[in-house]
Protein backbone atom coordinates (compact mmCIF):
# COMPACT_ATOMS: atom_id res chain seq x y z
CA UNK A 1 0.00 0.00 0.00
CA UNK A 2 1.33 3.45 -0.93
CA UNK A 3 2.42 5.69 1.94
CA UNK A 4 0.22 8.72 2.59
CA UNK A 5 2.18 11.95 2.23
CA UNK A 6 1.14 15.39 3.42
CA UNK A 7 2.33 18.98 2.97
CA UNK A 8 2.55 20.48 6.47
CA UNK A 9 4.45 23.73 5.96
CA UNK A 10 4.97 26.40 3.31
CA UNK A 11 7.25 29.43 3.07
CA UNK A 12 7.56 32.03 0.30
CA UNK A 13 9.50 35.20 -0.40
CA UNK A 14 8.11 38.07 -2.39
CA UNK A 15 9.26 37.85 -6.00
CA UNK A 16 11.21 40.87 -7.18
CA UNK A 17 14.46 41.97 -8.79
CA UNK A 18 16.44 41.44 -5.60
CA UNK A 19 19.71 43.12 -6.58
CA UNK A 20 20.59 43.58 -2.91
CA UNK A 21 19.84 40.02 -1.73
CA UNK A 22 21.65 36.76 -2.42
CA UNK A 23 20.10 33.42 -3.31
CA UNK A 24 21.10 31.97 0.07
CA UNK A 25 19.45 34.91 1.82
CA UNK A 26 16.18 34.45 -0.04
CA UNK A 27 16.17 30.69 0.40
CA UNK A 28 16.90 30.77 4.12
CA UNK A 29 13.99 33.21 4.56
CA UNK A 30 11.62 30.83 2.78
CA UNK A 31 12.95 27.86 4.76
CA UNK A 32 12.50 29.66 8.08
CA UNK A 33 8.90 30.50 7.21
CA UNK A 34 8.19 26.92 6.12
CA UNK A 35 9.62 25.44 9.34
CA UNK A 36 7.60 27.90 11.41
CA UNK A 37 4.48 27.01 9.40
CA UNK A 38 5.21 23.33 10.16
CA UNK A 39 5.27 23.96 13.91
CA UNK A 40 9.06 23.95 14.14
CA UNK A 41 9.44 20.57 12.41
CA UNK A 42 12.85 20.40 10.73
CA UNK A 43 13.46 18.43 7.53
CA UNK A 44 15.73 15.41 7.41
CA UNK A 45 16.52 15.89 3.72
CA UNK A 46 16.38 18.77 1.23
CA UNK A 47 15.69 18.80 -2.51
CA UNK A 48 16.26 22.10 -4.31
CA UNK A 49 14.85 23.01 -7.71
CA UNK A 50 17.05 25.38 -9.72
CA UNK A 51 17.84 25.96 -13.39
CA UNK A 52 20.51 28.63 -13.90
CA UNK A 53 22.79 28.75 -10.85
CA UNK A 54 25.86 27.52 -12.72
CA UNK A 55 25.45 30.08 -15.51
CA UNK A 56 24.08 33.20 -13.82
CA UNK A 57 25.34 32.75 -10.24
CA UNK A 58 28.49 30.81 -11.22
CA UNK A 59 27.59 28.56 -8.31
CA UNK A 60 26.81 24.86 -8.16
CA UNK A 61 26.60 22.77 -4.96
CA UNK A 62 23.25 24.49 -4.47
CA UNK A 63 21.79 21.73 -2.31
CA UNK A 64 24.53 21.84 0.33
CA UNK A 65 24.78 25.64 0.17
CA UNK A 66 21.08 26.18 0.82
CA UNK A 67 21.01 23.56 3.58
CA UNK A 68 24.00 25.16 5.29
CA UNK A 69 22.63 28.71 5.22
CA UNK A 70 19.23 27.48 6.39
CA UNK A 71 20.74 26.00 9.55
CA UNK A 72 20.49 22.42 8.27
CA UNK A 73 24.15 21.58 7.70
CA UNK A 74 24.68 17.83 7.54
CA UNK A 75 21.39 16.62 6.07
CA UNK A 76 21.21 15.01 2.61
CA UNK A 77 20.69 17.82 0.10
CA UNK A 78 20.89 18.09 -3.68
CA UNK A 79 19.76 20.11 -6.67
CA UNK A 80 17.24 18.98 -9.29
CA UNK A 81 17.19 20.61 -12.75
CA UNK A 82 14.37 20.35 -15.28
CA UNK A 83 14.53 23.82 -16.87
CA UNK A 84 11.53 25.96 -15.85
CA UNK A 85 9.98 22.82 -14.38
CA UNK A 86 12.74 22.29 -11.83
CA UNK A 87 10.46 23.08 -8.89
CA UNK A 88 7.90 20.50 -9.94
CA UNK A 89 10.63 17.93 -10.56
CA UNK A 90 12.04 18.65 -7.09
CA UNK A 91 8.59 18.04 -5.59
CA UNK A 92 8.34 14.73 -7.46
CA UNK A 93 11.78 13.78 -6.10
CA UNK A 94 10.93 14.80 -2.53
CA UNK A 95 7.74 12.76 -2.65
CA UNK A 96 9.75 9.79 -3.88
CA UNK A 97 12.25 10.12 -1.02
CA UNK A 98 9.43 9.90 1.49
CA UNK A 99 7.86 6.99 -0.33
CA UNK A 100 11.17 5.12 -0.29
CA UNK A 101 11.16 5.11 3.51
CA UNK A 102 14.63 6.65 3.78
CA UNK A 103 13.34 9.72 5.63
CA UNK A 104 10.01 10.85 7.06
CA UNK A 105 10.35 14.64 6.73
CA UNK A 106 11.55 16.32 3.51
CA UNK A 107 11.86 19.96 2.52
CA UNK A 108 11.36 20.72 -1.18
CA UNK A 109 12.61 24.14 -2.14
CA UNK A 110 13.12 26.24 -5.23
CA UNK A 111 15.45 29.19 -5.77
CA UNK A 112 16.34 31.33 -8.75
CA UNK A 113 18.33 34.53 -9.15
CA UNK A 114 17.74 35.76 -12.68
CA UNK A 115 19.02 39.28 -12.02
CA UNK A 116 22.60 38.34 -11.12
CA UNK A 117 23.75 39.49 -14.56
CA UNK A 118 22.40 41.43 -17.56
CA UNK A 119 19.01 40.70 -19.12
CA UNK A 120 20.83 39.40 -22.21
CA UNK A 121 22.67 36.90 -20.00
CA UNK A 122 19.39 35.74 -18.46
CA UNK A 123 17.87 35.37 -21.94
CA UNK A 124 20.86 33.23 -22.95
CA UNK A 125 20.53 31.08 -19.83
CA UNK A 126 16.79 30.55 -20.31
CA UNK A 127 17.39 29.56 -23.94
CA UNK A 128 19.14 26.48 -22.57
CA UNK A 129 15.64 25.06 -22.08
CA UNK A 130 15.52 24.78 -25.88
CA UNK A 131 17.66 22.54 -28.11
CA UNK A 132 21.08 24.15 -28.34
CA UNK A 133 22.17 22.39 -31.54
CA UNK A 134 18.91 22.50 -33.52
CA UNK A 135 17.20 25.67 -32.27
CA UNK A 136 19.39 28.10 -30.32
CA UNK A 137 22.30 27.73 -32.77
CA UNK A 138 20.06 29.21 -35.48
CA UNK A 139 19.09 32.24 -33.40
CA UNK A 140 15.88 31.05 -31.76
CA UNK A 141 15.18 32.46 -28.31
CA UNK A 142 12.87 30.76 -25.83
CA UNK A 143 10.39 33.62 -26.25
CA UNK A 144 10.63 33.27 -30.02
CA UNK A 145 9.72 29.58 -29.87
CA UNK A 146 6.68 30.31 -27.71
CA UNK A 147 5.74 33.02 -30.20
CA UNK A 148 5.73 30.44 -33.00
CA UNK A 149 3.32 28.27 -31.02
CA UNK A 150 1.12 31.27 -30.21
CA UNK A 151 0.98 32.34 -33.87
CA UNK A 152 0.04 28.82 -34.99
CA UNK A 153 -2.70 28.61 -32.34
CA UNK A 154 -4.16 31.99 -33.31
CA UNK A 155 -4.07 31.10 -37.00
CA UNK A 156 -5.63 27.65 -36.58
CA UNK A 157 -8.46 28.72 -34.28
CA UNK A 158 -9.06 32.25 -35.56
CA UNK A 159 -8.12 34.25 -32.46
CA UNK A 160 -6.81 37.83 -32.39
CA UNK A 161 -4.22 39.42 -30.14
CA UNK A 162 -7.05 41.05 -28.21
CA UNK A 163 -8.69 37.66 -27.63
CA UNK A 164 -5.43 36.30 -26.24
CA UNK A 165 -4.88 39.38 -24.05
CA UNK A 166 -7.66 38.45 -21.65
CA UNK A 167 -5.26 36.05 -19.93
CA UNK A 168 -2.75 38.69 -18.71
CA UNK A 169 -5.64 41.06 -17.95
CA UNK A 170 -7.06 38.66 -15.39
CA UNK A 171 -3.64 37.64 -14.03
CA UNK A 172 -2.82 41.23 -13.15
CA UNK A 173 -6.20 41.56 -11.44
CA UNK A 174 -5.49 38.56 -9.20
CA UNK A 175 -1.86 39.54 -8.54
CA UNK A 176 -2.98 42.93 -7.22
CA UNK A 177 -4.17 41.07 -4.09
CA UNK A 178 -1.08 38.87 -3.66
CA UNK A 179 1.61 40.18 -1.27
CA UNK A 180 4.18 37.84 -2.84
CA UNK A 181 3.56 38.99 -6.42
CA UNK A 182 6.22 40.70 -8.50
CA UNK A 183 3.66 42.75 -10.47
CA UNK A 184 0.84 43.42 -7.97
CA UNK A 185 -1.05 45.90 -10.08
CA UNK A 186 -4.11 45.88 -12.29
CA UNK A 187 -3.93 46.84 -15.93
CA UNK A 188 -6.24 47.18 -18.94
CA UNK A 189 -6.50 45.78 -22.45
CA UNK A 190 -5.15 48.94 -24.07
CA UNK A 191 -1.96 48.78 -22.00
CA UNK A 192 -1.50 45.09 -22.78
CA UNK A 193 -2.07 45.53 -26.51
CA UNK A 194 0.17 48.61 -26.76
CA UNK A 195 3.08 47.13 -24.80
CA UNK A 196 6.34 46.63 -26.73
CA UNK A 197 6.76 43.67 -29.08
CA UNK A 198 9.05 40.96 -27.68
CA UNK A 199 8.59 38.31 -30.38
CA UNK A 200 5.54 38.77 -32.58
CA UNK A 201 2.74 38.07 -31.68
CA UNK A 202 3.97 38.17 -28.06
CA UNK A 203 4.19 41.61 -26.49
CA UNK A 204 5.71 42.47 -23.13
CA UNK A 205 2.48 42.03 -21.18
CA UNK A 206 1.91 38.59 -22.72
CA UNK A 207 5.08 37.29 -21.04
CA UNK A 208 6.16 36.60 -17.47
CA UNK A 209 8.82 38.94 -16.03
CA UNK A 210 12.38 38.17 -14.96
CA UNK A 211 12.61 37.98 -11.18
CA UNK A 212 14.17 36.37 -8.14
CA UNK A 213 12.46 34.34 -5.45
CA UNK A 214 12.51 31.29 -3.20
CA UNK A 215 9.83 28.91 -1.98
CA UNK A 216 9.86 25.90 0.36
CA UNK A 217 7.28 23.26 1.26
CA UNK A 218 7.72 20.63 3.97
CA UNK A 219 6.33 17.15 3.44
CA UNK A 220 5.86 14.33 5.93
CA UNK A 221 5.07 10.66 5.65
CA UNK A 222 2.07 9.41 7.61
CA UNK A 223 -1.18 10.93 8.83
CA UNK A 224 -0.18 10.76 12.49
CA UNK A 225 2.80 13.07 12.01
CA UNK A 226 0.71 15.42 9.85
CA UNK A 227 -1.95 15.64 12.55
CA UNK A 228 0.68 16.40 15.18
CA UNK A 229 1.78 19.42 13.13
CA UNK A 230 -1.82 20.52 12.54
CA UNK A 231 -2.56 20.31 16.27
CA UNK A 232 0.55 22.35 17.10
CA UNK A 233 -0.50 25.03 14.62
CA UNK A 234 -4.18 25.01 15.66
CA UNK A 235 -5.36 23.80 12.25
CA UNK A 236 -8.21 21.40 11.57
CA UNK A 237 -7.14 20.82 7.95
CA UNK A 238 -4.55 18.48 6.46
CA UNK A 239 -3.36 18.66 2.86
CA UNK A 240 -2.52 15.31 1.31
CA UNK A 241 -0.70 14.65 -1.96
CA UNK A 242 -3.09 12.22 -3.66
CA UNK A 243 -1.83 12.26 -7.25
CA UNK A 244 1.46 12.93 -8.99
CA UNK A 245 2.62 12.58 -12.58
CA UNK A 246 5.82 13.43 -14.43
CA UNK A 247 6.51 13.09 -18.17
CA UNK A 248 8.82 14.42 -20.89
CA UNK A 249 8.69 15.31 -24.59
CA UNK A 250 11.31 16.21 -27.20
CA UNK A 251 13.42 19.27 -26.43
CA UNK A 252 13.24 20.58 -30.01
CA UNK A 253 9.82 21.55 -31.34
CA UNK A 254 10.54 20.22 -34.83
CA UNK A 255 10.35 16.61 -33.62
CA UNK A 256 6.87 16.92 -32.17
CA UNK A 257 3.73 15.41 -33.62
CA UNK A 258 1.54 18.39 -32.66
CA UNK A 259 2.84 21.81 -31.62
CA UNK A 260 -0.51 22.71 -30.07
CA UNK A 261 -0.61 19.81 -27.63
CA UNK A 262 1.60 19.72 -24.55
CA UNK A 263 1.99 15.95 -24.74
CA UNK A 264 4.01 15.67 -21.54
CA UNK A 265 1.25 17.52 -19.68
CA UNK A 266 -1.36 15.16 -21.13
CA UNK A 267 0.64 12.13 -19.95
CA UNK A 268 1.54 13.56 -16.53
CA UNK A 269 -2.08 14.59 -15.94
CA UNK A 270 -3.32 11.14 -16.88
CA UNK A 271 -0.91 9.60 -14.38
CA UNK A 272 -1.89 12.05 -11.63
CA UNK A 273 -5.65 11.64 -12.19
CA UNK A 274 -5.33 7.85 -12.16
CA UNK A 275 -3.24 7.85 -8.98
CA UNK A 276 -5.67 10.22 -7.25
CA UNK A 277 -8.76 8.40 -8.49
CA UNK A 278 -10.30 11.62 -9.81
CA UNK A 279 -11.16 13.24 -13.15
CA UNK A 280 -10.85 16.87 -14.30
CA UNK A 281 -14.46 17.40 -13.17
CA UNK A 282 -13.38 16.80 -9.55
CA UNK A 283 -10.75 19.56 -9.49
CA UNK A 284 -11.80 22.74 -7.66
CA UNK A 285 -8.68 24.90 -7.89
CA UNK A 286 -5.72 24.98 -10.32
CA UNK A 287 -2.37 26.72 -10.70
CA UNK A 288 -1.11 26.36 -14.28
CA UNK A 289 2.23 27.30 -15.82
CA UNK A 290 1.59 30.48 -17.82
CA UNK A 291 5.07 31.76 -18.62
CA UNK A 292 3.33 33.10 -21.74
CA UNK A 293 -0.41 33.42 -22.27
CA UNK A 294 -0.27 30.61 -24.83
CA UNK A 295 1.07 28.06 -22.32
CA UNK A 296 -1.76 28.96 -19.95
CA UNK A 297 -4.41 28.36 -22.58
CA UNK A 298 -2.82 25.12 -23.78
CA UNK A 299 -2.57 23.88 -20.19
CA UNK A 300 -6.31 24.29 -19.65
CA UNK A 301 -6.97 22.20 -22.74
CA UNK A 302 -4.39 19.50 -22.06
CA UNK A 303 -5.39 19.10 -18.41
CA UNK A 304 -8.92 18.36 -19.61
CA UNK A 305 -10.67 21.58 -18.57
CA UNK A 306 -11.42 22.78 -22.13
CA UNK A 307 -11.66 21.25 -25.59
CA UNK A 308 -8.87 21.85 -28.09
CA UNK A 309 -9.02 25.40 -29.38
CA UNK A 310 -11.72 26.40 -26.87
CA UNK A 311 -9.73 27.75 -23.92
CA UNK A 312 -9.43 31.33 -25.21
CA UNK A 313 -13.15 31.54 -26.00
CA UNK A 314 -14.14 30.15 -22.58
CA UNK A 315 -11.65 32.37 -20.74
CA UNK A 316 -12.87 35.49 -22.55
CA UNK A 317 -16.44 34.56 -21.58
CA UNK A 318 -15.41 34.57 -17.91
CA UNK A 319 -14.93 30.88 -17.26
CA UNK A 320 -12.36 29.65 -14.68
CA UNK A 321 -12.98 32.66 -12.44
CA UNK A 322 -14.51 33.04 -8.99
CA UNK A 323 -17.31 30.55 -8.45
CA UNK A 324 -16.49 28.41 -11.49
CA UNK A 325 -14.94 24.94 -11.47
CA UNK A 326 -12.05 24.87 -11.58
CA UNK A 327 -10.94 28.31 -10.44
CA UNK A 328 -7.57 29.11 -12.02
CA UNK A 329 -4.41 31.01 -11.02
CA UNK A 330 -5.71 33.28 -8.28
CA UNK A 331 -2.04 33.89 -7.39
CA UNK A 332 -1.67 35.95 -10.57
CA UNK A 333 0.20 33.10 -12.24
CA UNK A 334 3.71 33.28 -13.62
CA UNK A 335 2.49 36.21 -15.69
CA UNK A 336 2.02 38.58 -12.75
CA UNK A 337 2.96 36.73 -9.55
CA UNK A 338 6.30 36.17 -11.24
CA UNK A 339 8.41 33.32 -12.58
CA UNK A 340 11.64 32.70 -10.63
CA UNK A 341 12.10 29.66 -12.87
CA UNK A 342 13.43 26.88 -10.59
CA UNK A 343 11.22 28.04 -7.72
CA UNK A 344 8.00 28.43 -9.71
CA UNK A 345 6.76 24.87 -9.29
CA UNK A 346 7.21 25.10 -5.53
CA UNK A 347 5.35 28.44 -5.42
CA UNK A 348 2.47 26.72 -7.23
CA UNK A 349 2.33 23.84 -4.73
CA UNK A 350 2.46 26.27 -1.79
CA UNK A 351 -0.33 28.39 -3.28
CA UNK A 352 -2.58 25.37 -3.83
CA UNK A 353 -1.90 24.22 -0.25
CA UNK A 354 -2.83 27.62 1.18
CA UNK A 355 -5.99 27.79 -0.93
CA UNK A 356 -7.02 24.35 0.36
CA UNK A 357 -6.28 25.40 3.95
CA UNK A 358 -8.13 28.67 3.45
CA UNK A 359 -5.20 30.90 4.47
CA UNK A 360 -3.88 32.18 1.14
CA UNK A 361 -3.18 35.89 1.76
CA UNK A 362 -4.39 37.04 -1.66
CA UNK A 363 -7.47 36.41 -3.81
CA UNK A 364 -9.18 33.44 -2.19
CA UNK A 365 -10.74 30.43 -3.92
CA UNK A 366 -14.27 29.28 -3.11
CA UNK A 367 -13.56 26.72 -0.36
CA UNK A 368 -11.81 24.14 -2.60
CA UNK A 369 -11.36 20.50 -1.59
CA UNK A 370 -9.11 19.29 -4.43
CA UNK A 371 -6.39 21.35 -6.08
CA UNK A 372 -3.95 20.80 -8.93
CA UNK A 373 -0.58 22.34 -9.85
CA UNK A 374 0.95 22.02 -13.33
CA UNK A 375 4.60 22.99 -13.82
CA UNK A 376 6.46 22.70 -17.13
CA UNK A 377 10.06 23.02 -18.25
CA UNK A 378 10.83 24.33 -21.71
CA UNK A 379 7.72 24.26 -23.89
CA UNK A 380 6.53 21.24 -21.90
CA UNK A 381 9.71 19.30 -22.50
CA UNK A 382 9.03 18.40 -18.87
CA UNK A 383 5.67 18.41 -17.11
CA UNK A 384 4.74 17.62 -13.55
CA UNK A 385 1.15 17.53 -12.35
CA UNK A 386 0.41 17.32 -8.63
CA UNK A 387 -3.05 16.82 -7.14
CA UNK A 388 -3.66 17.70 -3.50
CA UNK A 389 -6.70 17.14 -1.31
CA UNK A 390 -8.01 18.78 1.84
CA UNK A 391 -8.56 16.37 4.71
CA UNK A 392 -10.41 17.07 7.96
Q: What is the pLDDT of residues 137-196, one digit of tens each?
A: 888 888 999 999 999 999 999 999 999 999 999 999 999 999 999 999 999 999 999 999
| DSSP structural state of residue 162 | H
- pLDDT tens across 219-265, in order? 999 999 999 999 999 999 999 999 999 999 999 999 999 999 999 99
Residue 334 phi, psi dihedral angles, 5° rounding = -60, -30
Catalytic pick from 172, 203, 293, 339? 339
> What span, in angstroms and rounded, lies between the C-alpha atoms of 371 and 374?
10
- pLDDT tens across 54-112, in order? 999 999 999 999 999 999 999 999 999 999 999 999 999 999 999 999 999 999 999 99
The DSSP string of 45-81 is: -EEEE-SSIIIII----HHHHHHHHTT-TTS-EEEE-
Q: Reply yes or no on whether 207 is catalytic.
A: no
Q: Reply yes or no on whether 339 is catalytic.
A: yes
Catalytic pick from 84, 172, 289, 293? 84
In the chain the domains, ranked by start, together with CATH numbers, are 5-118+210-233 (3.40.47.10), 139-207+242-391 (3.40.47.10)
**pTM confidence score:** 0.97
Nearest to 141 by CA among 156, 153, 131: 131
Amino acid sequence: MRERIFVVGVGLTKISRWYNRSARDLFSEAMKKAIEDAGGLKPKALVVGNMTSGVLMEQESIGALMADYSGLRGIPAFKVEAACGSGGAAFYTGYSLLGSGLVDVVAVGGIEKLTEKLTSDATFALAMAADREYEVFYGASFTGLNALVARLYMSKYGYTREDMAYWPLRMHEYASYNPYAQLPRKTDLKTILNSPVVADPLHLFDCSPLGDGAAVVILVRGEEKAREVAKTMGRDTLVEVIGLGFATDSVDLGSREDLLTLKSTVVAAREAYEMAGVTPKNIDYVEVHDAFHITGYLALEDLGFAGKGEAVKLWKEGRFGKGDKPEVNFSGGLKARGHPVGATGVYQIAEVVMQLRGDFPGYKASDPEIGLAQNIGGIATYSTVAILSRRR
